[in-house]
Amino acid sequence: MLARPRPRLQLTRSLRDHVAYRYLSSAPAITSGSGDVLGRRVDKKRLVILGSGWAGYPLARKVDKKHYDVTVISDSPNFNFTPLLASTSVGTLEFNNAVESVRALPHVNYHQAWVDRIDFASKTLACQPTLRYASRQPHQQDDALSYNTVKREELQDERLPVFTMEYDILVVAVGAYSATFGIPGVKENAHFLKNVNDARAIRARILECFEIAAMPGLSDEERKRVLSFVVVGGGPTGVEWAAELHDLVSSDIPRYYPSLVPLISITLYDVAPHILGNFDSSLQAYAEKKFARDNIRIRGRRTVEKVEPGWITIKEEGRIPFGLCVWSTGLAVNPLVAAIKEIPKGQKGATLLTDERLRALDASTDNKPMRDVYAIGDCAGVAGGPVLPATAQVAQQKALHLAKELNRAAKSGDAYQPVPFEFKNRGSLAYIGGWQALVDRTSAASGLKGGNAGRMAWLIWRSAYFTMSVSVRNKILIPTYWFLNWILGRDISRF
Amino acid sequence: MLARPRPRLQLTRSLRDHVAYRYLSSAPAITSGSGDVLGRRVDKKRLVILGSGWAGYPLARKVDKKHYDVTVISDSPNFNFTPLLASTSVGTLEFNNAVESVRALPHVNYHQAWVDRIDFASKTLACQPTLRYASRQPHQQDDALSYNTVKREELQDERLPVFTMEYDILVVAVGAYSATFGIPGVKENAHFLKNVNDARAIRARILECFEIAAMPGLSDEERKRVLSFVVVGGGPTGVEWAAELHDLVSSDIPRYYPSLVPLISITLYDVAPHILGNFDSSLQAYAEKKFARDNIRIRGRRTVEKVEPGWITIKEEGRIPFGLCVWSTGLAVNPLVAAIKEIPKGQKGATLLTDERLRALDASTDNKPMRDVYAIGDCAGVAGGPVLPATAQVAQQKALHLAKELNRAAKSGDAYQPVPFEFKNRGSLAYIGGWQALVDRTSAASGLKGGNAGRMAWLIWRSAYFTMSVSVRNKILIPTYWFLNWILGRDISRF
């Protein structure tokens, strides 16, 4: 046991604890998972949440821990604040601005693991920890090109043992994977933008491309190859990333690599004829005009055939070189969802079907809802209801609805009157570069309708995501970095 | 060519440029390496600096670019502010606080490469870029345990071609490697703390150890194994790291993992009987007493025999388990230094010998100084002078001295009167945890002499490193993070 802080520090520590624990509601979390809260044994339902994304994290945060013993199981230790990932991937914000630690949620247990199997009858989960017991650290000083060549089989005996966990209530919120449509080489040679690790890899690679292009002895043709930035997918993620990259390339790169600026290209490919398919057509046109002015090439109606290291093959154009390829073409089925046979599936088998109270249906009882299993987020859909897009907005609304219902059910007891979930379209936002954004509220459920593009929409975009940021730390850091990077330029250090 | 910002943005951009370029002296850098400054062809000496550490970076920063065409060649794109690495490795500060991008130095060319060979006769360098042409991105979503198993040989054809570079003046400031004394398994299983990548790996592993220990189904013995933190080396780096870890473990860990606190151990091993060998013995005793109170075990007179995944074998104690082992036992010869035959070497062949003007000696001319080759930092020593410690302080003083001399030589022309280098001991600093530090000025060249330990020394420690921080960005961010992390606790997100 390590010594506790000495008395002379008591004053400052008390102050800090006072501020941090009382007002910021970051009281100690419980790691035991035994319902042993603050030393007092209580009788609470064990609520297990699978996943820590836009569905799992808000639910874990908002559900009442006085009534539920909450455990999150996720192979990511973080909630990724996805709308800011594109910003972090070019240095408009820092990585920690787009991340919240699940472990830091007060009174929530967390285990970093996959769920291999759900036994709905005995209400138990088989979980495989995704951490290794011993660390292996490849040192880079001898050979910057060397890699950790440990084979997967060698790691088997370092894996932590599978553990089982019982639940009273289960919420499946495992989300979806990135779609590659079976196109060869995508996983190996393109970058996704789903989490902060992806964003970090992208930022390092962008800056690496410029360092490569600045090497002596290359032809301009070779420099152009490595400064060719390719985006596949014209949805909000692909568009926002292209826009953020253009911001970096027009504001900061000229300062550090002036002679390389004429060699840069940004190209966006999509199978659809237009970008931002879910937006109003006038806003689509606005974005396309803005991109054209910025020399971001939009290539619609294109089919990708394969991706090799440094080369992408487009059916209509042939083999195109790239320094970095970002891939964002929608979602694929989560393997856990594919493995669950007890719950009927929605379109293409990608979603678990629920009733309008978000309870998973039971295939063995003629699709009656299960009593204590819920499914929310990208991996879930309401049977018979409209097919909602797999967005953060839908996931979060379902999570907050479920938290509210679970809290009401616990408080009201037998008097509980369930309220069905109803999606309220709040509109869509997309950043398009140069302090401009799109706000599409043409299908909004309430408030001002219509679309908005430009500087005012950008203010709405920034305000919305600032408001949605979670921790006090990020409420302070996000505007700090916005300001610092505006006044000083983006940080181009790479590590 | 991408479109330049549109006129409507001119006002804000002008303001930013005004602030950033004029007052913060971050004017555009030149990438061509051709002496083509601001479009004007000038006749300047080509100064090539090998290395971007405490010797190379301050020299590149301070040498007058009106007189020298400066190129830095280093396999690290960053200057690592080493005294703050221990802080970043536990989250007292963020990683970018301890890093400055070499590329961001105004009017300095930079290439990320190793120097394979120096031809002193023709004044040319053969440089191997340490970047790969194509990117390969291992995606983690399918298997969090999978690794990039690309073999080194497969990368050969992706390497960028070797380039040659001519110099008029060469400064060798490549530093040293971490010593492992040939002990098996150190490189593979222990973590060094030499740069920001090391710090990031350590921080991730510390938090991972706690997540592992929080897994269900482990025995307390197994939890203790993974919560055993081992430091090898009782110099300032090892001591400061143990102190920072203890701060994390006593201030923040109890909030997130209260039940694990009694299972944590921190142990420091050294061959010497006491830690901080270069400090005054009263300060050593103070630090050892503080560590004893904090339950940081100091084990002197110990010999490490080998390091395996999760286990370290100490001759006197047997096989000890660990979750994380940090290794900081001094320096080993840089391979470039070992390869240079033209310059005589100091003790153990680890340093290139120079005269007191820091000019490298020429073995072929009976150790007369070379005209245009200098050696500074950990890889250099003054022949016949006192053997100075391989510290940041010595490296920086040599760099600033050389910058001054080069600037004077360029300005004075034939009237230049060389001034020999003289080391001015400014004293030593070490953080020992709990807002306490040591200041040892018993051998100081001027000013107050004597030692100081405790809170006031800590204030000196923080002020010194805040003052030494380089960029405006870090001058703002470092106090911001010190304050935020004091009031909110350290950020435990891990990615």
Chain B environment of A23 (Cβ under 8 Å): none
- For residue B444, being part of any structural domain is answered with yes
Q: Please indicate, yes or no, if residue B3 is contained in any of the structural domains.
A: no
Nearest to A294 among B3, B31, B146 (CB): B3
> Out of A247-261, A265-279, A444-458, which region has the weakest mean confidence (pLDDT)?
A444-458
- Tell me which of A154 and A284 has the higher pLDDT: A284
pLDDT of residue A39: 40
Region B170-182: what's the mean pLDDT?
95
Output the CA–CA distances (angstroms, integers) from residue B64 to B35, B208, B398, in the order listed. 14, 46, 16
The pLDDT of B241-245, averaged and rounded, is 98
Chain A partners of B195 at a C-beta cutoff of 8 Å?
495
Report yes or no on A2 lying in a domain. no
**pLDDT band of B42, cuts 50, 70, 90:** low
Q: How far apart are the first and last CA of chain B?
A: 35
Residue A443 CA to residue A425 CA, distance in Å, equals 7
CA B379, CA B401: separation in Å to the nearest integer?
16
Helix, coil or strand: residue A412: helix
Are A174 and A50 spatial neighbours (Cβ–Cβ below 8 Å)? yes
- Greater confidence (A144 vs B63) lies with B63
Mutate to test the interface with A, among B157, B211, B252 (most CBs of A within 10 A): B211
pLDDT band, residue B158 (cuts 50/70/90): low
Query: How far away is chain B from the Cα of A271, in angstroms, using its nearest Cα?
Result: 24
**A359: CB partners within 8 A, 6+ apart:** A369, A370, A371, A373, A374
Q: Do residue B77 and residue A493 have CB atoms under 8 angstroms apart?
A: yes
State yes or no: pLDDT of A10 exceeds 70: no
Q: What is the pLDDT of residues B26-37, one digit of tens each?
A: 333 334 444 343
Closest CA to A495 of B326, B94, B114, B150: B94
Q: Which residue of B has its CA nearest to A199?
A: B495
Same-domain status, A484 and A405: no
pLDDT at A282: 96
What's the pLDDT at A441?
A: 93
Beta-strand relationship, B169-172 and B311-314: unpaired
- For residue A73, pLDDT beyond 50: yes
Query: What per-residue confidence (pLDDT) applies to A8?
Result: 36
- A232 and A254 in one domain? yes
Q: Does residue A141 lie in a domain region?
A: no
Contact A251 B5 (CB under 8 A): yes
Same domain (yes/no): A288, A355: no
Q: Domain boundary at A423, A458, A478, which?
A: A423
Mean pLDDT of the region B400-413: 96
Which pLDDT band holds residue B445 (cuts at 50, 70, 90)?
confident
CA distance A375 to A413: 22
| A-to-B residue pairs, Cβ atoms closer than 8 angstroms | 330
Q: Do B256 and A177 touch (CB under 8 A)?
A: no
Residues in chain B: 495
Nearest CA in chain B to A111: B215
Contact B2/A250, CB-based, under 8 Å?
Answer: yes
Residue after which a domain boundary falls, among A391, A423, A455: A423
- pLDDT-derived band at A445 (thresholds 50, 70, 90) equals confident
Q: Look up residue B246 and give its two tokens.
A: 């203890």
CA B490/CA B256 separation, integer angstroms: 11
Q: What is the ipTM of this complex?
A: 0.88
Are B165 and B231 members of one domain?
A: no
Residues of chain B with pLDDT > 90: what percent? 80
**Model confidence over A389-432: pLDDT tens digits?**
999 999 999 999 999 999 999 999 999 999 999 999 999 999 99
> Do B277 and B305 share a domain, yes or no?
yes
Residue B494 domain-assigned? no
How far B421 CA lies from chain A's nearest CA (Å)?
A: 30
From the list B140, B145, B255, which residue is nearest A28 (CB)? Answer: B255
Q: CB B140 to CB A197 under 8 A? A: yes
Check residue A264 and give its pLDDT. 98
The answer to whether the CB atoms of A256 and B9 lie below 8 A apart is: no
B162 with B292, same domain: the answer is no
Looking at beta carbons, which residues of chain A come within 8 Å of B260? 31
pLDDT for A85 equals 97
Do A346 and A418 have their domain in common? yes
- Specify if A139 maps to a domain: no
CB atoms within 10 A of CB B197: 18
Instruction: Judge: A492–B103 Cβ closer than 8 Å, yes or no.
Output: yes
**B223 sits in which H/E element:** helix B220-226
* Residue to test with chain B: of A15, A115, A145, A208, most B Cβ within 10 A: A145
Tell me if A188 and B137 make a contact (CB, 8 A cut-off): yes
- Nearest Cα of chain A lies from the Cα of B368 at a distance, in angstroms, of 32
DSSP for B257-316 reads: -GGGGGG-EEEEE-SSSSS-TTS-HHHHHHHHHHHHHTTEEEE-S--EEEEETTEEEETT
Beta-strand pair B36-37/A450-454: unpaired
B130 pLDDT band, cuts 50/70/90, is: confident
Residue-level pLDDT at B134: 73
Nearest chain B residue (CA) to A178: B141
- Mean of pLDDT values over B234-252: 97
Share in percent of chain B as helix, strand, coil (round to 5):
35, 25, 40
Confidence (pLDDT) at B152: 36
Considering only the C-alpha atoms of chain A, give the largest distance between any 2 of them, rounded to a whole number of Å: 78
Task: Provide the pLDDT confidence category of residue A448 given band limits of 50, 70 and 90.
Answer: confident
pLDDT band of B439, cuts 50, 70, 90: very high
Q: Report chain B residues whose CB lies below 8 A from the CB of A77.
A: 207, 211, 493-495
Asked whether residue B68 carries a pLDDT value surpassing 70, the answer given is yes
How many C-beta atoms surround the C-beta of residue B179 within 10 A?
Answer: 18
Instruction: State whether A2 and B261 contact (CB < 8 Å).
Output: yes
Average pLDDT of chain B? 88
Question: Is there a single domain that holds both residue A402 and residue A464?
Answer: no
Structural domain boundaries enclosing A474: 186-331+426-488
Chain A residues close to B456, C-beta within 8 Å: none
Q: Check: CB of residue A9 under 8 Å from CB of residue A457.
A: no
Lowest mean pLDDT among A196-200, A428-432, B18-22: B18-22
Asked if pLDDT for residue A100 goes beyond 60, the answer is: yes
Counting every residue, how long is chain A? 495
pLDDT band at B43 (very low <50, low <70, confident <90, very high): confident
Average pLDDT in the A423-442 region? 95
As a whole number of angstroms, the distance between CA A76 and CA A52 comes to: 7
Chosen domain end from B423, B448, B467: B423
Encoded amino acid at A171, one letter = V
Contact A152 B159 (CB under 8 A): no
Nearest alpha-carbon partner for B287 in B438, B427, B141, B424: B438
Nearest to A262 among B1, B249, B492 (CB): B1
B216–A33 CB contact, under 8 Å = yes
Q: Is pLDDT at A466 greater than 70 in this prediction?
A: yes
Say how far apart CA B189 and CA B321 lie, in whole Å.
12
- The mean per-residue pLDDT over the stretch A202-211 comes to 95
In this structure, is the dihedral angle defined by the CA atoms of residues A408, A413, A415 and A416, taken in order, positive or negative? Answer: positive
Q: Do A473 and B491 touch (CB under 8 A)?
A: yes
Taking only Cα atoms into account, the Rg of chain A, rounded to an integer number of angstroms, comes to 24
CB neighbours of residue A154 within 10 Å: 12
Name residues whose C-beta falls within 8 Å of residue B289's C-beta, 6 or more positions apart in sequence. Answer: none
Which string of DSSP letters, residue by residue, matches B229-271?
A: EEEE--SHHHHHHHHHHHHHHHHTHHHH-GGGGGG-EEEEE-S
The verdict on a CB contact (< 8 Å) between A259 and B31 is yes
Q: C-alpha B113: how far from its chain's center?
A: 17
- Residue A145 located in a structural domain: no
Both A357 and A470 in a single domain?
Answer: no
Query: How many separate domains does chain B show?
Result: 2
Q: How far is A29 from chain B (nearest CA, A)?
A: 5
Q: Give the C-alpha separation, B230 to B275, whole Å.
A: 15
Q: Nearest-CA residue of chain B relative to A322?
A: B134
Q: Is the pLDDT of residue B312 over 90?
A: yes
> What's phi and psi for B460, nearest 5 deg?
-65, -45
B366-404 pLDDT per residue, tens? 999 999 999 999 999 999 999 999 999 999 999 999 999
Chain A residues inside the 8 Å CB shell of B217: 161, 163
Q: CB-CB: which of B150, B196, B254 is closest to A147?
A: B150
Average pLDDT, chain A: 88
Phi, psi of B491 (to 5 degrees): -75, 120
The reply to whether B309 and B433 lie within a common domain is: yes
pLDDT 10s digits, B340-374: 999 999 988 999 999 999 999 999 999 999 999 99
In the block, residue with structure tokens 């606005």: A286
Instruction: Answer for the pair A458, A437: CB distance below 8 angstroms, yes or no.
Output: yes
Residue A8 counted as domain residue: no
Q: Please judge whether B197 and A495 are an interchain contact, meaning their C-beta atoms are less than 8 angstroms apart.
A: yes
Contact B2, A266 (CB under 8 A): yes
Measured CA to CA, the distance from residue A192 to residue A177 in angstroms comes to: 10
CB-nearest to A148 from B147, B192, B491 is B147
- Tokens of residue A378, six digits: 């990208």
Residues of A whose CB is below 8 A from B37: none
Three-class secondary structure of residue A292 per DSSP:
helix
Lowest average pLDDT, out of A336-345, B83-92, B125-134, B310-319, goes to B125-134
The CATH number of whichever domain residue A273 belongs to comes to 3.50.50.100
Residues of chain B with C-beta less than 8 angstroms from the C-beta of A488 = 20, 24, 26, 472-473
Is A140 a residue whose pLDDT tops 70?
no
Same domain, B119 and B21: yes
| Same domain membership, residue A357 and residue A226 | no
* Residue A177 pLDDT > 90: yes
B29: chain A residues, CB-CB within 8 Å: 255-256
